[in-house]
Chain A
Amino acid sequence: MSLRFTKLALGAAMAGLFSGSLLASDLVITFDDLNPDKKAAYEAAVEAFKAANPDINVVANNGDREAHKDTIRNALQNDAPDVITWYPGNRMGPFVDAGLFTDISDLWASDENLSSNFNAIKPTMTRDGKQWGVPYSYYQWGVYYRADIYEKLGLSEPKNWEELLGNCDALKGAGVTPFTIGTQYLWTAAGVFDYLNLRTNGYEVHNDLTAGKIKYTDDRIRATFAKWEEMLDRCSFVSTHATMDWQAAISPFAKGDAAMYVMGNFSVGQYKDAGLTDEQIDFFQFPEITAGVPRAEEAPADAFFIPANAKNVENAKKFLSFIATPQIQGDWNKAIGQLPPNAAAEINADDKFIVEGMATLSTAAGLAQFYDRDAPAAMAKAGMEGFQKFMLDPSALDEILEGLDKVQAEVY
């Protein structure tokens, strides 16, 4: 006890030497994106918050995204900020389970905007029946394609599996590889798998799979892989995909050697950097496979959380309410070219991909977070390696699925 006192006294003496007393009401925020537009949008939102709450002394930190994935562990356990960015779905699971995030169900219940405008995304923010964070942005996935090549061959956007396969035949006939992909870093293949599974079996089954309730050797999952095999056969992918990352895979797409790309909307800027114009590229929702399965979509979200160690929880909640408002959500996502999770927010009507994305997501029957966020990290790693292996050698399917079952049994 006397030790503690000495420590305090010394600390106070030293602190007094160097700085004045701190403001009574602080808010420390940690964000994780240094990309110029993302950073600017975040800073703009913080400025707006400061203007609305002049009594709060806001400290806004920002760091590299990849680094954040590692430093967050440390930050949550030691000197935690009051608000921190992280991913919803299963990615937040370990931190929730270790008691490192604050339960904000009360905020979701009491804030009218949160309780009414976020219905589509609420399930992914929920774990153990409680809500843990507030999303500020998400984006759609789907098929980006070369509209000019489609037009040249007289093709139209496929509505179902058969039409897609038909398009592929026509493209191959013209010497164009139907799909480009770069699986060097594995996750791109998971995008294809997610869609095949969502369209073959629907959201529930997919969710059960990533939650570890269904085995990979289940007949329903095998049916998904059967479709994938069909796709590999008739809609082939570029042959060197295992040595390319997702950006390198844009090169055959931009050159016109490949016509379609299953990707997220963040890739649009890269297509344009590669020399393609708005007229040359377009977007369609991944086509229906099993008729009657409600259309679910991939929509990875980014969110803010309150660490359990936060010192200014009330201010943190104020901030979360603030960034959930339609105004802020609209401005923020217009600036970064993504979609606001708030259904009442405005979007950028000049960007056809954003408009189409909003239409796609707001009518979706369910939103998946992407395989590597829905499944625990160790499972996702093994799963994605399995997907890549399958793409290179479909005959190894049994071996792959049995291997994944083993990992599943161990991880969950």
Chain B
Amino acid sequence: MTTTIANPNQRFETSANRVVGAGIVLAICIFLLVFVVNTAMVQEMLGYTRQITARVPTFFIRMALLLTAVAAGLFMITGHSYYKRNKLAVTPWLFLAVGLAFFMVYVIVPIFQSISYSFTKWNGLYDINGVWTGKWVGLHNYRILLDDPNFWTSLKNNLIWLVLYMLAVPIGLFIALFLNQTVTGIRIYKSLFFFPFVISQVVVGLIFAWAYNPEFGLLSEVWGWFFCEMRENIVGNLTRVCSVDPPSILGDSKKATYGIIAAGLWPQIAYCMILYLTGLNNVSADQIEAGRLDGAKGWKLLWHVVLPQLKPATFIAIVVTVIGALRSFDMIATMTQGGPFGSTNVLAFYMYEQAVGEGVGRYGYGSAIATVLFLIMLVYISYFLWRMYQDEKEGN
């Protein structure tokens, strides 16, 4: 398909001035970037004192240089006869260059770096000469991992998350069906039901942590109506005395994870709901009518006629729910920090805690945990890509 559509008037000559000029600009920019511009230089130049205040200006100078370099590079390449002759083969790479470089540096390469860290014992420090202070330990970290009860707790919690988070899919479907009517104001209802998804997980976590609080949360208030009374204590202050203590959901290692998941389900259900609402819009009316004529009703109709048509929505709902479950971090960080005593840890949070939390600095061990999490995720990623590949094949 890469046939060049040649225009008879097109000339394939190199514009020498343009190539040489842009080349010089490019070389200068790269030279400045690599050898000259750094925080110390900018500090001196702008008269800053040492410390990080000069980082942002340094960054902007660098970015300006980089952009100039990219522009010059583009100019240089498009001026060359090679480009003019192979336009359709080269152009996509020009479009891709910046984005791909970015993505490689920040996403793809780090994956492999992390995996390589997982074979080391390292606290994240370089010595004064910039020499790495870690050492290679082979599979040692993984062996320790197998023997670490906290790791198994985290893994188990990840599984609980995966399983229970899936509830978001049917509940979301249920609410979508409930809302899939045309009465006045339904659009506002739909948006309000969707609302929790837009709120940051940190805020959701705070809201639920407060609701669960055994002293003055929503739950303990309700509890208080049944089991508690106010009494005066020894110094004459009113204090609450309960015949049965209110449940301390986040303080109890057996309940805390479920408490967090319940909080996490709230926005996730909203997400699944909106996916299904959109899916329901596209359900074919004819098929439903046909189903009805065949005598299908209620659950049967839902299961045999509607759900098959909602398959794309279900697929996406499951994918985002799985990813959401495995990424759970924000809620745990706001609600329990993995506590009590690590019982609500999941791999994502445990990794963070081991690697950088409170200066723990077990980079190698943390990377090993991250690698395990990555491998679990890879199963889903592969499945997703495989599905996409099937669609692409059909599409073309």
Contacts and interface: CB of A to CB of B under 8 A. Distances in A.
User: Do any CB atoms of chain A lie under 8 A from CB atoms of chain B in the complex?
Assistant: yes
B387 to A, nearest CB: 41
Contact of A175 (B40, B46, B233): B233
A251 B213 CA distance: 14
Nearest to B130: A77
B341 A385 contact: yes
Nearest to B236: A256
A100 B127 contact: yes
Interface stretch (B9-17, B111-119, B243-251, B323-331): B243-251
B39 A19 contact: no
Contact of B361 (A94, A174, A243): A94
Interface of A is mostly: helix
A19 B35 contact: no
A287 interface: no
Interface stretch (A114-122, A342-350, A386-394): A386-394
Contacts of B144: 410
B41 A239 contact: no
Given A149-B234, A256-B237, A392-B340, A19 B45 contact: yes
Contacts of A61: 49-51
B235 A3 contact: no
Interface string B333-370: 00011011110000000000110111111100000000
Interface stretch (A10-18, A196-204, A220-228, A359-367): A10-18
B392 interface: no
A98 B125 contact: yes
A381 B357 contact: yes
Interface in A10-49: 10-11, 14-15, 17-19, 28, 30
Contacts of A185: 337
A381 B125 contact: no
B35 A30 contact: no
Interface string B245-287: 1001011110000000000000000000000000000000000
B234 A175 contact: yes
A256 B233 contact: yes
Given A18-B47, A79-B51, A148-B235, A69 B248 contact: no
A255 B36 CA distance: 63
Interface in B288-312: none
Interface string B131-153: 00100000000001001111000
For the complex of A and B, list the 7 residue pairs with the smallest distance between their C-beta atoms, beginning with the closest. A256-B235, A242-B251, A389-B341, A19-B47, A243-B251, A59-B49, A385-B341
Interface of B: 35-36, 39-41, 44-47, 49-52, 123-128, 130, 133, 144, 147-150, 213-215, 233-237, 239, 245, 248, 250-253, 336-337, 339-342, 353-354, 356-362
26 contacts: A10-B36, A11-B36, A17-B45, A18-B46, A19-B45, A28-B51, A30-B51, A61-B49, A61-B50, A69-B358, A77-B127, A79-B50, A81-B50, A81-B51, A94-B123, A98-B133, A99-B128, A184-B339, A239-B248, A242-B248, A243-B214, A256-B236, A257-B233, A377-B359, A381-B357, A406-B147
